[in-house]
Structure 1
Amino acid sequence: MATQAQVAPRRLVYTSPLEEKALNATGPATEQTYLAQLLAIRPGANEDQVAQASKLLADLYALIDATKPEGKPMAKRVRTIFEQVHKGFLSKYEDKATFDQTMGSGIYNCVSASALYALIFEHYRIPYAIRQKPTHVYVVADPAASNIMVEGTDPQGGYFLPDARFKKAYVDYLAEGKLVSQEEVARLGVEEVFKQKFQADKTITLPQLISLQYYNKAVLALAEDDAEQAYRALQKAEKLFHTTETSYLLVESLRYRLNGISYAKMEDVEKLTDFYAYQPGSKYQDEAISDFRGLTQKFLMDKGDTATYRAVYKSFQGSVADSATRGTISFVYYMQRGRMKLLQQNYLPAFHLLMQAYHYNPTSPELQGMVNALVQQESSRSGGGIRMLRQLDLFVYEHPREKGTPLLAQAYLHTYGRTALDYFAQDKRAEGKKYLALFEQAQSGKGAAVENEAAANVYLAASLCSGRANDLPGVKAYARKGLSYEPSNPSLQRLASLK
């Protein structure tokens, strides 16, 4: 049964060292942590800008402190903060504003203004809640008592207003990921399910609000047909705080990015595997396998570019969550690499690759035929049996669980026979007898067989070696065993009749 695995996160492309540092901050979050994360959305943001914003906040706190807020009723404390913020920061409302613009020039929207209020309430330890509606964000101070709404923005100016197509596609996405049942969709309808599930009225945290700033940036990029920019922003939104809405838009942005791609380089391939990384369950498993086969042809078979092909395989393995699909991709990878080595008559590396493919699909007749042919071809060369046996033993040492597989048993049987023949041909009787015993033992097992001619040739070599050692009983005994496989063999008949 296929299982779901956690896929590896994609490498983010940061727009500044500050952004990379801020989005990967560890330890307890502080006001400075949040401030850096909010400012980092600006490309090229740096520590000097964080320091400048910190000074602006410090000046604001000094003005608020001058009013001696301690001991005053909550409503007056919040009113003072509201007035000072509007007086010192909020000068112009724009839908596309980001927090760095709010701090630098007073341009703000519902997200950036709410983030500023949240920072200030954090500083003064005033209880607050950030409320999120489908098209708006605002802050409530002292939500358990006074419940004071701090609203300094245009509530009609939202960060995203989905249309009917978007609503249906999003509900389909929820159903495919089993986040909502088909029965529920049929019963409630697309509009109601969307209303309940997509950014429904809820309370969010400051880290979620910071994530929302990146989400907002991505939505604006999608509206401008900049899928690459949208994807990069959504990655960061997802890193800061996971939501189903963000995951869905990630998939949508990836879908746009794939239009017209030729997959000429790894950067293109990673766009494709990014798309598969965010798919729920086993969705698109056939498409993933088909795409991998196509890239196998492109990079391995046509170009012989093994290094890039390895990178392609690694990218797919790190992206496809369904274990059955990953197994099929692994089978294709090892099978085709093994086939290439086989065509180059590089038999020993080919054997290791094909046996790894066998692990993922032991029932493939084509693979079994290739391995059997490979073992025979390699071991038929001078000294090949001994070389092949070393490779078999090495493979079993590295993959002990594969020892009892029928294909490996067949390979051992043929190789024991050929190794015995090689040693007898070199007049190394002790070694020859050792591997002849192993050959006979392997013949008695299930699932492995050797052609009569091949078995007869092993005993012919043993008989001839005995003759060179002046061991007439051995000559005749081995010859008679050989005749049990090939009764009409004239050489064995002659040796068996010696007196």
Structure 2
Amino acid sequence: MKYLLSITIIISANFSILSQRLDTTIFNSAFEKQLFQKVIDSQVFDPMELFFSMNYHESSVNQSKNKLNNFYKEIAPELISKQIKKQIKTIYKRTHSHFLTKYEEKSFFENIFENGTFNCVSATALYALVLETYHIEYVIKETLQHVYLIADPKRDQVFIETTLPSKGTFYVDEHYKKNYVEYLENNKIISESEFKTQSTESLFDKYYDENKTITLKELAGIQYFNDGIFNYEASKFVEASKSFEKAFILYPSNSIKLAYHTALLALLNEQHQTKKYSAITLAKFINLNKNNNEAKTLTEDYFGLLTEELVINHPQLGYYEKQYHDFQDYISDSIDIKIINQQYFYYTGYANYIQQDLPKALVNLNKSFELNPDNINTKQLIQEVVSNHIFKDVNRERELDSLKIYFSMYPFLLKNDKFQIYFTYCYLRIIGEAMHYNDVPKAMKYLSVFEDQIKLYPDIVMNDKYVELAYGELASYYIRKTKYNEAEKYYLKGLALAPNSYELKKQKELLSSQKTGLNEYLNDSKNYDKINNELALEIPKNPDEKSGFKESMDTFFPGSWEAVNFIEDGQTKAVPKDEKLVIIAKPNNKLEFNMGGIKETGRWAIRNKGHLLYLIPKDNENDYLVFKVVEISKNTLKLQAYDGGKLENIIVQFKAITQ
């Protein structure tokens, strides 16, 4: 009896297993593997071996072949003088009496030679082999419930029935017919219009594999199919799927595809329940269902569960990577697995990031991004990886180069406020530091590029503090050069970028105030030297000027002063010996001072407004120093220096000394 089972259809498809990589683990022996490889490669093979291959044992097979050969020798004399029809009857009777003892549905070809048990598949195979030996033509017929053989089909058409179909266990009910027809429609074996306009009964009768002529190879496929059914009924889904896969290789019928699908689905469910996922099983399932959207969704969901288990819940990244590569190896090239690929690269990148393997994380995340540039999770994780890389680097120029590369790869980063601020920060920090150390060419190079970037991205976000840093240093440089108009230009540029910057406004106002004060002392007499072509500092000379500050300076400042302490944030620190500073001021406004062992001469001047003290070196009058006089008395002098038009936070305390 051809043994079948009524199976609920969930998802199925039209599929050729021969187009996929062969899973060699489905074979029970090297003999079986080699034999199936011959079938797949369309090489010559002995069909009889297919009936022994399922449970192959060399010694048993040899014994069975010997029994057959002895039987052939035994009946050969009885056939010599008979006509074909009588030969067939003799073969039927002698074969049945010699080999077939008891009918059992759950039996296989090798059981005939072991204990005489048989079913319609194994007995039909035996008769076919005997008829072939004596060169008698035959055809094998498959019906809904049965297989049988017709000997000498072109003339006498002798039917050889090996069993009684009425004793079978398969029932074709309405539920089975409905599922079978839905399977045909789901997988586009029948059209949608045909499905909607014809009855289930008529479609089932039209398309079910009934009364077909099959080959001996396909009959062997039915034997594997029966083995799959037995295993499926015993909930041995691994073994069932293996048997159905081999059956499908030998005989790719709709019935076998349906059974193979159902076993795979049951196996996937079992693997999910036990958390022992197999991407190979998943690949086989989608290969079998490649034209079905529901199957594609199920496959993506299953891979998501596999990912969650192996990356999130119980991380095994190496095993996860193996599962993915197994899936890639077995999947059909015609199946779109873009979503699964994107998911794999994202979660692998995520695992790399957690392990702080940032280069590897970015490689995988980049692949995920290329597959789906709109995925929010991928973009967010790329931001985190790039941030982790960039924000830990202390080399601003290198950071800037990296940011430009990242922006070209991931344009969405440039829309992020944090990256915009950091991008502008790098430029502004490089410019500010270069100006601070008088590397003007470098500062101007980066300033030019920065201002071009601002034109390109006029809405880019930047931090006022960093604008103050760069443009404050630029202005300070030109103040030191007494190029006040140029300094003012950079204050204005800075305020254009940071209009609410209190510091830039304050420094600009101070610059304007200083320019006004200097102009008050503009040299209009032969007694004063010009500092540059634009401005000169006046040495105060009017003894009748009523000013407490001027009187104090005239009274106490001429003399010798040595810096002894720095006062910063309320804390007093002694001046290091190697930073020794001595000022010798003379009544005629002449000046000598010693800074760190370097002696200078020049002159000093004051500005009443603001209580400012100017120390002007003779050799380079443009390089003068400006201090705010915080306190002056007979023995104490406290000065607070200006740098770039801005008061420093440090007060230098001097004491009067005797030379």
What TM bracket, shorter-length normalisation?
0.7 to 0.9
What's the CA shift for 1:297?
A: 2.2
String of CA shifts for 1:414-460, please: whole Å, max 9, x gaps.
9xxxxxxxxxxxxxxxxxxxxxxxxxxxxxxx9xx973662463365
String of CA shifts for 1:43-71, please: whole Å, max 9, x gaps.
xx31112211221221122123323537x
Aligned to 1:424: none
String of CA shifts for 1:186-243, please: whole Å, max 9, x gaps.
4442233223333311100000001111112223444455444432321221122211
What's the CA shift for 1:245?
A: 0.9
Pair 1:34 & 2:47 matched: yes
Task: Name which of 49, 54, 62 aligns with 2:65.
Answer: 54
Moved more, 186-195 or 8-17: 8-17
Task: Name which of 119, 124, 135 aligns with 2:129.
Answer: 119
Alignment of 1:392-407 (within 5 A): none
Moved more, 193-202 or 452-461: 452-461
What's the CA shift for 1:108?
A: 1.9
Between the aligned partners of 2:383 and 2:233, the Cα distance in structure 1 is 58
Task: Name which of 126, 130, 133 aligns with 2:140.
Answer: 130
Between the aligned partners of 1:22 and 1:99, the Cα distance in structure 2 is 17
On the 8 A contact 1:207/1:241 being kept in 2, the answer is yes
Between the aligned partners of 1:139 and 1:207, the Cα distance in structure 2 is 14
Aligned to 2:26: 13
What's the CA shift for 1:109?
A: 1.8
| Structure with the largest fraction of strand | 2
Task: Name which of 361, 366, 386 aligns with 1:350.
Answer: 361
Between the aligned partners of 2:401 and 2:208, the Cα distance in structure 1 is 62
Pair 1:73 & 2:83 matched: yes
Aligned to 2:509: none
Aligned to 2:492: none
Aligned to 1:398: none
Aligned to 1:489: 468
Task: Name which of 367, 371, 381 aligns with 1:360.
Answer: 371
Between the aligned partners of 1:186 and 1:494, the Cα distance in structure 2 is 81
Q: Which residue identity is paired with 2:113?
A: M
TM-score for both structures, normalised by structure 1: 0.76
Between the aligned partners of 2:297 and 2:52, the Cα distance in structure 1 is 43
Q: Which residue identity is paired with 1:491?
A: A
Task: Name which of 82, 92, 96 aligns with 2:92.
Answer: 82
Between the aligned partners of 2:351 and 2:30, the Cα distance in structure 1 is 44
Between the aligned partners of 1:475 and 1:388, the Cα distance in structure 2 is 14
Task: Name which of 387, 390, 393 aligns with 1:379.
Answer: 390
Between the aligned partners of 2:86 and 2:248, the Cα distance in structure 1 is 37
Pair 1:23 & 2:39 matched: no
Moved more, 48-57 or 455-464: 455-464
Aligned to 2:223: 213
C-alpha RMSD of matched pairs (Å): 3.8
Pair 1:285 & 2:296 matched: yes
Residue 114 to residue 352, structure 1, CA distance change in 2 (3 Å): same
What's the CA shift for 1:392?
A: 11
3-state secondary structure, aligned to 2:149: strand
On the 8 A contact 1:460/1:482 being kept in 2, the answer is no
Pair 1:63 & 2:74 matched: yes
Aligned to 1:167: 177
On the 8 A contact 1:93/1:108 being kept in 2, the answer is yes
Aligned to 2:409: 408
On the 8 A contact 2:279/2:324 being kept in 1, the answer is no
Pair 1:153 & 2:163 matched: yes
String of CA shifts for 1:453-495, please: whole Å, max 9, x gaps.
6246336536856987x86455445446546757943434434
Aligned to 1:417: none
Q: Which residue identity is paired with 2:305?
A: G
Alignment of 1:196-345 (within 5 A): 196-258=206-268, 261-266=271-276, 274-281=284-291, 282-317=293-328, 326-345=337-356
On the 8 A contact 1:135/1:156 being kept in 2, the answer is no
String of CA shifts for 1:262-321, please: whole Å, max 9, x gaps.
554545665555544432422233333233223322221122211222234345546666
On the 8 A contact 2:209/2:254 being kept in 1, the answer is no
Q: Which residue identity is paired with 2:382?
A: V
Aligned to 2:423: 454
Q: Which residue identity is paired with 2:250?
A: L
On the 8 A contact 1:459/1:481 being kept in 2, the answer is no
Figure out how many residues of one structure are paired with residues of the other and give that number: 446
How many percent identity over aligned positions? 24
String of CA shifts for 1:78-119, please: whole Å, max 9, x gaps.
233223312322232222231111223322221111111211
Instruction: Tell which structure's C-alpha radius of gyration is larger.
Output: 2
Aligned to 1:142: 152
On the 8 A contact 1:160/1:216 being kept in 2, the answer is no
On the 8 A contact 2:400/2:423 being kept in 1, the answer is no
What's the CA shift for 1:356?
A: 0.7
On the 8 A contact 1:479/1:495 being kept in 2, the answer is no
3-state secondary structure, aligned to 1:166: helix
TM-score for both structures, normalised by structure 2: 0.59
Aligned to 2:584: none
Structure 1 residues not aligned, in runs of 5+ = 394-404, 415-445
Q: Which residue identity is paired with 1:143?
A: P
Residue 48 to residue 388, structure 1, CA distance change in 2 (3 Å): farther
On the 8 A contact 2:137/2:151 being kept in 1, the answer is yes
Between the aligned partners of 2:79 and 2:333, the Cα distance in structure 1 is 60
Aligned to 2:6: none
What's the CA shift for 1:328?
A: 1.0
Q: Which residue identity is paired with 2:351?
A: M
Structure 2 residues not aligned, in runs of 5+ = 1-14, 455-461, 482-659
Between the aligned partners of 2:319 and 2:102, the Cα distance in structure 1 is 51
Aligned to 2:550: none
What's the CA shift for 1:177?
A: 0.6
Aligned to 1:97: 107
Residue 347 to residue 28, structure 1, CA distance change in 2 (3 Å): closer
